[in-house]
C-alpha cells in the first residue's frame, strides 16, 4: 500500500522512493525464496496432490480443531478479563489477540502458505528452477475449489490480496471448467457474530467456519456449481460465495486504522459482488449506524464507476416475521438511517449532489428487506433449530435467484481482472476508477470506437450531401429557367433540409448510444458516467456540421449570385457577336465567287474589330477587398477591451500588416516569469495557425472563384477556435490583436489578388477575346458546310466535362481517401484517440536510426501538433502509394462518373429534338447538374454556330468520353502523389487530424495529450503520463530535469509551482483546484509508464541539453527497462 500512498516519502523524489520500495520488496521475496519450503508444507502439498486428499483434509481439520480446543478456552478467558478491565493494557490485549490467532491454526493457513510460496517463486526469472517446481500449486488449489473447499481471497492477517496467486488459481480454474466459466457473485457483510457464515451455510449448503466469536478473518470464497436445470435460467455456470470477517470487530477496534481496514474490505467485496447481503443482527443494533456508514461508502464508490448491483438487507433475530406490514416502521427507520449515512458519506467523497440512499442505488423498502427469526428455539446447544429460520433463508435465496436472471454474468478471467483493478484502487485510496483499470479502459475504448464510427458515418453523409447541395446552388438557372423558384428559395430549402438531416443524424447517434448501454455488452455499465458526455458530443457534432454546411452554402450562394451577373453580361455580348457572325456568313454566301479560307479569315477579322470597338463594356465593379477585410476584423474584435479598440483605431489599412515572420514576445504573455517556459508553445501554436490560414487562402486562390466575405469570416473563426483551445496559455488581448492583424494582412492582399484576377478573367471583352478563335473556326466551317460533330464533341468534352470532372474529383477524393484510412486496414490506428496515441508511440519506438531518435522524441514532445500532422500524412502516403491504391481509387470514382456521363448522353439523345444541338447539349448538362458544375458560357458557345446533328454528335461524344477516360487514367499513372494531394480541396490528412486531435488539451504537468472521446467531454485525461522532465519541468534549486511522473505525484505530499499557481507552492494532491478540468489517475503498476521511463533513461542528457537544464537523476530500475517492455506497456 505504501507503494501507492507514499505516506513516508518525506523529501525524497517520488520515483526514487518507489524504486527503494521496489528493491525492498524484491529483497523480501529473495529472503522468502532462500528459506525454501518447510518439511510440513512439503508433506501438505504432497498429501493434497494424492487421490486421498479429501480424506486427508478432513482429518487434518479435525486434528487441528482438537489441538485448538486445548488452548483457546484459557486464552479467551484471559482476553475477556483484560477487555472488561477499564485500565486494561492495550499492548497486552493485542498480544493476547495475536496468541489466539496463532492458536487457531486451520487448513486455510496451509493454503495461505502455499500462496506465499508461489508469490515468492513467481518473482524469480521464468527459467528459475525453484519457480518451475512450484508452478503446479495454483492448479491444486483450483481443484480444491471445485471440490468445495474455500479460497482465501483477502489475507486476514495482512489485509492484502495475493494478486499473482489468485490470478493463477482462476486461470487454472478457467482451464479446468473450459467453456463453462460464467459466474455470479454473492457477498455477505455485517458486524461480528451477526450470523453471516451461518446464513451462507444454510442458504447454499457450504461449510464456512462458524462460532460465537470472530472466526472468519479477511474474506473467503467458495464455488457453487449451477445444475444444468438452472443453468439456462441464471445464464451462469457457478455462483461465487464470499464470506467476510465482521466489521467493527472488538479486536480491530484497538487499532488506529480499524475504520480504514473495514472501509477497504467493504469497498472490495461490494465491488466484486452482483448481490450484496447486508446482515443486520438486532442484538447488535447499537453498532448499526457505524456499519451502515461503512457500507454506504462502499456503495457510493461503486455508483461512481457505474457498476450495477443489488443490495439486500437481512434483519436477523426478529421475533415476529409473519406480518410484513408490522415492520414498516423498522424499514422506514432503516431508510432514514441510510439517507443520513449517504449524505455523510457523500460529503466525505465530495459528492454533495447525492442526498439519499436511492440516489446511490435502486432500493425498494418493500422488497429490499428480509426478516429472519433466530436460528434456535431456546438456548443452544440443546435447543432445537427453528424451521422458520430455514424457510426465511430459502425465501431470500429465491429472491437472489430472481435478481440473477436480470444480470449479465462475468467470466472467470473478467472476475480476476476486476479483482486486480479494484484492489489497486483500494490501495491507492482512489475510488474514482482510473483508465489504467483494464476493464474500465476496455469498456471506454470500445464505446469510443463505436461512437467514432457513428460520428464518421454522419460526417461522410453530410459531406456528400453538402457537396450535392453546393452543386445545386452553383448550377441553378444555368440550363433551365426556374421562374417560380429563385436561387434564394433554393438556398433556404437546402438550409432547412440540412437541419432536418442533421437532426435525424443526431437522433440516430443518441438512439445508438442508448441502445449500446441497454444491451450491456463489454462492461458498458462501468462507463455509465460518460453516457451524457457522448450524448452531448452528438449535439456538439450537429452544431459543428450545421455551421460548416451553412458556411459552404453561404459561399455557394454568394458565388452563384456573382456568376449570374457575369453570365448575364457575357450572354449579352456573345449574343451580339453571334448575330454579327451569322450576318457575315450570310453576306459571304451571297457573294457569287467562292471564298478561300484566307479571304474568310480577313473578312472575319475586319468584322471582329468593328464589332468589339462598337460594344460598350460594363463589367463587374472592382472592390477594395483589403478595406472589407479590415471591416470584418473590427467587427470581430468589437467586444474586446478599450485598449484593443484604441490600438485597432490606429490601424488605417492592412497593406503593411502580415509581412515578415510573426514573433510572439513577452508582452503577449500574462505571466512574464514563465516566459522562457511558454514562449516556444505560443510560437508553435502561432506558426501552425498561420500555416493553416495560408493553406486556406491558397485553396481559395486555386478555386478561380471571386472573393467572398465568408472567406475572412472563416479565417477569423479558425483563429478564435485555436485561441479558445489554448486558453491555458493565458494570452493577452493584444496578442490576439497582433496575430489577427498579421493573418488578415497577408490574407487581405491575397484576397485582393483573387478578386482582381476574377474581374480580369470575367471582363466582357476578355471573355469575347477568349472565344475569338472558336468563333473564327465555326464561321469558316459553316461557310464550307463542314461536319462539326466531332469538333463540337471534343470542345464539349475538353472545355466543359473534363474540367468539371477534374474539379469534382478534387472535391470528393480527399474524403474518400480518409474513409479508406478510417474503415480499412488502418482502422485500428484511427479508431479512437487512445489507439492513435499508442500507434504514434509504437512507431517512435520502432525507429531504426537511434542516433536521430532523440531528435524525433524532442520534436514529438515540443511540436506535438506538427509531428502528428506529419505522422498522419506519412501514414496516408504509405497506404495509398502501396499496391497502386490511390490509382485504383481514382479509377473507381472516375468509372462511376463516366458511367453517369454515358447514360446522360444516351438519355439526351432519346429525349432531344433531333435538329436542336444546343438543346441536346443543355439536356446532357441538366442530367449531370447534381454532380458536376459546368460553365454556362462555354456550353452556350458550343451550342451556337454549328450544323452538327444531335444523333451524330452523340456518337462522337461517346468516342470522346472513351478518349477522356483513357487520358485521365494515363494522367493518374504519371502524376506524383504529392502533386495529387496538393490538388485536393479536402486534404485526407486534415480530415484525419481533426478526427484524432480531439480537444487538443495537454496534461498541465507532463504535456501528454488528452485522450477523452467525443467532442463534449467534461474531463480531460491521459492513459499514460510521462516523467515531468519531458514537459520541461525541472527542480527549483538543482535545475535538474524532474523524473517524477504526475500519476505518482498527485498521490504524494509533494508540491509544485508555475504561472497557474501565481508562482506559489501548491500540493499536487490538490491539483484539481488549479486544473479542475483534468483527472489524473494513479499509475496502477510499475509497468504502466514503462514506455516513457525507457525514453527518459535513454535520452536524459539529450533532453537536458535541448531544455537548457541538467540531466535528471534516473532511478536505477528505469535503466533496466528493455525496449520490448516499453512497447508492451502500451498494450
Give per-residue pLDDT as tens, 303-314.
666 666 788 888
What is the rounded CA–CA span in Å between residue 654 and residue 741? 7
Helix residue ranges, H only, 49-162: 53-84, 90-103, 107-122, 129-134, 137-146
Residue 207 has pLDDT above 60, yes or no: yes
**Phi and psi of 279, rounded to 5°?**
-90, 115
**Phi and psi of 322, rounded to 5°?**
-75, -35
Question: What value does the mean pLDDT take over residues 497-501?
Answer: 92
Residue 461: the pLDDT is: 92
What is the rounded CA–CA span in Å between residue 102 and residue 104? 6
Give 843's contacts (C-beta < 8 A, 6+ positions apart).
Answer: 871
Q: Choose from 81-95, 264-278, 798-812 the range with maximum mean pLDDT.
A: 798-812
C-alpha cell at 919: 438543346
Three-state DSSP class for residue 243: strand
* Dihedral sign, Cα of residue 1087, residue 1088, residue 1094, residue 1097: negative
C-alpha cell at 439: 476493464
Closest CA to 846 of 857, 859, 832, 858: 857
Give 92's contacts (C-beta < 8 A, 6+ positions apart).
Answer: 82
Residue 838: the pLDDT is: 85
CA distances from residue 195 to 217, 219, 278, 283 in whole angstroms, order as listed:
14, 15, 11, 11
CA distances from residue 83 to 73, 212, 252, 642 in whole angstroms, order as listed:
15, 17, 13, 77
CB 151 within 8 A of CB 157: no
Closest CA to 1093 of 1129, 1050, 1055, 1053: 1129
Please write the tens of the pLDDT for every residue from 728-754. 777 778 888 888 999 999 999 998 998
pTM exceeds 0.75: no
Q: Choose from 60-69, 74-83, 302-311, 909-918 the range with maximum mean pLDDT.
A: 60-69
C-alpha cell at 1093: 521511463
Confidence of residue 458 (pLDDT cuts 50, 70, 90): very high
C-alpha cell at 313: 438487507
Please give the distance of CA 1109 from its chain centroid, rounded to a whole number. Answer: 35
Residue 1015 has pLDDT above 70, yes or no: yes
Give 248's contacts (C-beta < 8 A, 6+ positions apart).
Answer: 191, 192, 258, 262, 287, 290, 291, 294
Residue 211 has pLDDT above 50, yes or no: no
Cell 537536458 identifies what position?
A: 1104
Strands 151-154 and 369-372: unpaired
CB 171 within 8 A of CB 255: no
Lowest mean pLDDT across 277-281, 801-805, 881-885 = 277-281
Confidence of residue 192 (pLDDT cuts 50, 70, 90): low
- The neighbouring-strand residues paired with 224 are 239
Cell 443489488 identifies what position?
A: 310
What is the rounded CA–CA span in Å between residue 874 and residue 296? 53
Cell 441497454 identifies what position?
A: 518
Question: What value does the mean pLDDT take over residues 468-491?
Answer: 79
Confidence of residue 256 (pLDDT cuts 50, 70, 90): very low
Confidence of residue 419 (pLDDT cuts 50, 70, 90): confident
What single string gives the DSSP state of each residue in 972-1027?
HHHS-HHHHHHH-SS-HHHHHHHHHHTT--B-TTT-PBP---SSS-SSB--SS--B
Please write the tens of the pLDDT for every residue from 505-541. 999 999 999 988 888 776 777 777 788 888 988 898 8
What single string gives the DSSP state of each residue in 451-503?
HHHHHHHHHHHHHHHHHHHHHHHHHTTTSS--SSS-HHHHHHHHHHHHHHHHH
Confidence of residue 888 (pLDDT cuts 50, 70, 90): very high
* H or E element at residue 224: strand 219-225
Strands 151-154 and 310-316: unpaired
Residue 214: the pLDDT is: 43
Residue 567 has pLDDT above 70, yes or no: no
Give 661's contacts (C-beta < 8 A, 6+ positions apart).
Answer: none
Give 609's contacts (C-beta < 8 A, 6+ positions apart).
Answer: none
Lowest mean pLDDT across 131-140, 808-817, 1083-1092 = 1083-1092
Closest CA to 40 of 110, 130, 95: 110
Strands 310-316 and 219-225: unpaired
To 5 degrees, how large is the angle CA 682–CA 683–CA 688? Answer: 100
Cell 516499453 identifies what position?
A: 1126
CB 716 within 8 A of CB 639: no
Long-range contacts of 298-302 (CB under 8 A, 24+ apart): 298/263, 298/266, 298/267, 298/269, 298/270, 298/271, 299/270, 299/360, 299/361, 300/342, 300/345, 300/346, 300/349, 300/351, 300/354, 300/360, 301/267, 301/270, 301/271, 301/349, 301/431, 302/270, 302/271
Each domain of the chain, given as residue ranges in start order, spans 625-761, 787-831+851-997, 1024-1128
Confidence of residue 394 (pLDDT cuts 50, 70, 90): confident
- The neighbouring-strand residues paired with 155 are 160
To 5 degrees, how large is the angle CA 883–CA 888–CA 892? Answer: 160
Cell 450537429 identifies what position?
A: 542
- The neighbouring-strand residues paired with 372 are 316
Question: What value does the mean pLDDT take over residues 250-275?
Answer: 66
Please give the distance of CA 938 from its chain centroid, rounded to a whole number. Answer: 50
Residue 678 has pLDDT above 80, yes or no: no
Q: Output DSSP code: residue 1031.
A: G
Rg of the chain over Cα atoms, rounded to whole angstroms, equals 40
Cell 440550363 identifies what position?
A: 479
Confidence of residue 254 (pLDDT cuts 50, 70, 90): very low
Confidence of residue 35 (pLDDT cuts 50, 70, 90): confident
- The neighbouring-strand residues paired with 669 are 731
C-alpha cell at 1037: 534549486
Amino acid at each position: 500500500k505504501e507503494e501507492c500512498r507514499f505516506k513516508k516519502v518525506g523529501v525524497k523524489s517520488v520515483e526514487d522512493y518507489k524504486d527503494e520500495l521496489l528493491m525492498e520488496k524484491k529483497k523480501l521475496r529473495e529472503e522468502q525464496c532462500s528459506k525454501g519450503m518447510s518439511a510440513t508444507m512439503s508433506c501438505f502439498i504432497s498429501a493434497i496432490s494424492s487421490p486421498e486428499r479429501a480424506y486427508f483434509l478432513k482429518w487434518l481439520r479435525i486434528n487441528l480443531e482438537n489441538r485448538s480446543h486445548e488452548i483457546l478456552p484459557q486464552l479467551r478467558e484471559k482476553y475477556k478479563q483484560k477487555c472488561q478491565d477499564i485500565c486494561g493494557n492495550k499492548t497486552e490485549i493485542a498480544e493476547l489477540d495475536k496468541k489466539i490467532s496463532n492458536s487457531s491454526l486451520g487448513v486455510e493457513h496451509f493454503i495461505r502458505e502455499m500462496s506465499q510460496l508461489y508469490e515468492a517463486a513467481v518473482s524469480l526469472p521464468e527459467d528459475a528452477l525453484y519457480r518451475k517446481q512450484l508452478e503446479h500449486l495454483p492448479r491444486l488449489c483450483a481443484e480444491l475449489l471445485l471440490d468445495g473447499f474455500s479460497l482465501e481471497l483477502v489475507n486476514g492477517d495482512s489485509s492484502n490480496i495475493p494478486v499473482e496467486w489468485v490470478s493463477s488459481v482462476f486461470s487454472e480454474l478457467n482451464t479446468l471448467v473450459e467453456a463453462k466459466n460464467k459466474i455470479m457473485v454473492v457477498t455477505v457483510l455485517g458486524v461480528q457474530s451477526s450470523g453471516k457464515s451461518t446464513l451462507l451455510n444454510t442458504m447454499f449448503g457450504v461449510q464456512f467456519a462458524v462460532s460465537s466469536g470472530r472466526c472468519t478473518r479477511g474474506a473467503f470464497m467458495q464455488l457453487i456449481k449451477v445444475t444444468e436445470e438452472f443453468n439456462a435460467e441464471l445464464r451462469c455456470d457457478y455462483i461465487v460465495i464470499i464470506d467476510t470477517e465482521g466489521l467493527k470487530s472488538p479486536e480491530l477496534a484497538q487499532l488506529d486504522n480499524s475504520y480504514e481496514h473495514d472501509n477497504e474490505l467493504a469497498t472490495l467485496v461490494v465491488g466484486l459482488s452482483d448481490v450484496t447481503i447486508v446482515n443486520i443482527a438486532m442484538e447488535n443494533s447499537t453498532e448499526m449506524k457505524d456499519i451502515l456508514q461503512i457500507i454506504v461508502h462502499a456503495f457510493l464508490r461503486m455508483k461512481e464507476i457505474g457498476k450495477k448491483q443489488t443490495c439486500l438487507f437481512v434483519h436477523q433475530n426478529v421475533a415476529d416475521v409473519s406480518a410484513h406490514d408490522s415492520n414498516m416502521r423498522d424499514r422506514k427507520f432503516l431508510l432514514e438511517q441510510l439517507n443520513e449515512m449517504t449524505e455523510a458519506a457523500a460529503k466525505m467523497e465530495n459528492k454533495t449532489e447525492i442526498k439519499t440512499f436511492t440516489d446511490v442505488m435502486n432500493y425498494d423498502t418493500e422488497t429490499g428487506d428480509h426478516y429472519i427469526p433466530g436460528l434456535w428455539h431456546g438456548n443452544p446447544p440443546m435447543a432445537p433449530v427453528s424451521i422458520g429460520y430455514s424457510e426465511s433463508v430459502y425465501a431470500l435465496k429465491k429472491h437472489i435467484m430472481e435478481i440473477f436472471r436480470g444480470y449479465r454474468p462475468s467470466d472467470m478471467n473478467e472476475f480476476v481482472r476486476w479483482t486486480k483493478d479494484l484492489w489497486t484502487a483500494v490501495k491507492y485510496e482512489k475510488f474514482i476508477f482510473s483508465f489504467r483499470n483494464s476493464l474500465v479502459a476496455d469498456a471506454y475504448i470500445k464505446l469510443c470506437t463505436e461512437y467514432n464510427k457513428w460520428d464518421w458515418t454522419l460526417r461522410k453523409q453530410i459531406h456528400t450531401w453538402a457537396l450535392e447541395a453546393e452543386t445545386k446552388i452553383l448550377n441553378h438557372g444555368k440550363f433551365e429557367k426556374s421562374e417560380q423558384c429563385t436561387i434564394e428559395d433554393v438556398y433556404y430549402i437546402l438550409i432547412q433540409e440540412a437541419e432536418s438531416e442533421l437532426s435525424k443524424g443526431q437522433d440516430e447517434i443518441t438512439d445508438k448510444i442508448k441502445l449500446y448501454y441497454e444491451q450491456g455488452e463489454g462492461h458498458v455499465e462501468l462507463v455509465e458516467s460518460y453516457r451524457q458526455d457522448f450524448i452531448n458530443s452528438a449535439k456538439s457534432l450537429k452544431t459543428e456540421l450545421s455551421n460548416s454546411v451553412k458556411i459552404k452554402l453561404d459561399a455557394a450562394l454568394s458565388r452563384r449570385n456573382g456568376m449570374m451577373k457575369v453570365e448575364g453580361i457575357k450572354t449579352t455580348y456573345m449574343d451580339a457577336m453571334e448575330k454579327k457572325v451569322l450576318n457575315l456568313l450570310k453576306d459571304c454566301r451571297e457573294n457569287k465567287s467562292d471564298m478561300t479560307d484566307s479571304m474568310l479569315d480577313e473578312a472575319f477579322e475586319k468584322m471582329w474589330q468593328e464589332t468589339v470597338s462598337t460594344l460598350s463594356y460594363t463589367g463587374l465593379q472592382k472592390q477594395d477587398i483589403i478595406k472589407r477585410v479590415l471591416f470584418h476584423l473590427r467587427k470581430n474584435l468589437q467586444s474586446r477591451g478599450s485598449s484593443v479598440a484604441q490600438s485597432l483605431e490606429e490601424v488605417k489599412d492592412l497593406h503593411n500588416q502580415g509581412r515578415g515572420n510573426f514573433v510572439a514576445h513577452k508582452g503577449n504573455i500574462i505571466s512574464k516569469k514563465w516566459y522562457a517556459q511558454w514562449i516556444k508553445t505560443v510560437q508553435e501554436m502561432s506558426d501552425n495557425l498561420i500555416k493553416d490560414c495560408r493553406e486556406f487562402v491558397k485553396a481559395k486562390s486555386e478555386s478561380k472563384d471571386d472573393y467572398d466575405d465568408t472567406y475572412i469570416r472563416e479565417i477569423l473563426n479558425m483563429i478564435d477556435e485555436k485561441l479558445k483551445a489554448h486558453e491555458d496559455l493565458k494570452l493577452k488581448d493584444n496578442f490576439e490583436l497582433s496575430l489577427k492583424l498579421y493573418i488578415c494582412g497577408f490574407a487581405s492582399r491575397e484576397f485582393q489578388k483573387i478578386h482582381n484576377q476574377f474581374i480580369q478573367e470575367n471582363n466582357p471583352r476578355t471573355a469575347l477575346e477568349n472565344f475569338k478563335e472558336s468563333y473564327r473556326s465555326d464561321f469558316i466551317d459553316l461557310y464550307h458546310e463542314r461536319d462539326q460533330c466531332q469538333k463540337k464533341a471534343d470542345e464539349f468534352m475538353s472545355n466543359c466535362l473534363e474540367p468539371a470532372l477534374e474539379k469534382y474529383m478534387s472535391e470528393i477524393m480527399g474524403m474518400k481517401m480518409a474513409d479508406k484510412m478510417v474503415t480499412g486496414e488502418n482502422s485500428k490506428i484511427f479508431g479512437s484517440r487512445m489507439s492513435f496515441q499508442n500507434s504514434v508511440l509504437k512507431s517512435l519506438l520502432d525507429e531504426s536510426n537511434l542516433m536521430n531518435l532523440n531528435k524525433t522524441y524532442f520534436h514529438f514532445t515540443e511540436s506535438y501538433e506538427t509531428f502528428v500532422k506529419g505522422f498522419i500524412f506519412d501514414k496516408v502516403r504509405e497506404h495509398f502509394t502501396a499496391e497502386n491504391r490511390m490509382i485504383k481509387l481514382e479509377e473507381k470514382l472516375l468509372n462511376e462518373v463516366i458511367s453517369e456521363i454515358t447514360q446522360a448522353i444516351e438519355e439526351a439523345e432519346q429525349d432531344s429534338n433531333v435538329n436542336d444541338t444546343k438543346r441536346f447539349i443543355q439536356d446532357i448538362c441538366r442530367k449531370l447538374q447534381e454532380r458536376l458544375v459546368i460553365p454556362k458560357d462555354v456550353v452556350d458557345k458550343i451550342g451556337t454556330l454549328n450544323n452538327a446533328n444531335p444523333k451524330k454528335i452523340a456518337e462522337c461524344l461517346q468516342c470522346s468520353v472513351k478518349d477522356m477516360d483513357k487520358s485521365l487514367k494515363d494522367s493518374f499513372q504519371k502524376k506524383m502523389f504529392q502533386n495529387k494531394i496538393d490538388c485536393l480541396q479536402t486534404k485526407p490528412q486534415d480530415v484525419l487530424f481533426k478526427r484524432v486531435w480531439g480537444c487538443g488539451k495537454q496534461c498541465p504537468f507532463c504535456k501528454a495529450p488528452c485522450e477523452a472521446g467525443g467532442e463534449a467531454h467534461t474531463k480531460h485525461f491521459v492513459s499514460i503520463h510521462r516523467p515531468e522532465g519531458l514537459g520541461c519541468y525541472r527542480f527549483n534549486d538543482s535545475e535538474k530535469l524532474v523524473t517524477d511522473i504526475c500519476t505518482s505525484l498527485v498521490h504524494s505530499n509533494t508540491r509544485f509551482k508555475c504561472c497557474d499557481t501565481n508562482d506559489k507552492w501548491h500540493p499536487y494532491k490538490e491539483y484539481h483546484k488549479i486544473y479542475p478540468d483534468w483527472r489524473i489517475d494513479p499509475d496502477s503498476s510499475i509497468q504502466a509508464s514503462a514506455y516513457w521511463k525507457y525514453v527518459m533513461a535513454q535520452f536524459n542528457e539529450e533532453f537536458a541539453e535541448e531544455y537548457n537544464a541538467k540531466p535528471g537523476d534516473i532511478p536505477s530500475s528505469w535503466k533496466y527497462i528493455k525496449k520490448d517492455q516499453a512497447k508492451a506497456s502500451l498494450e
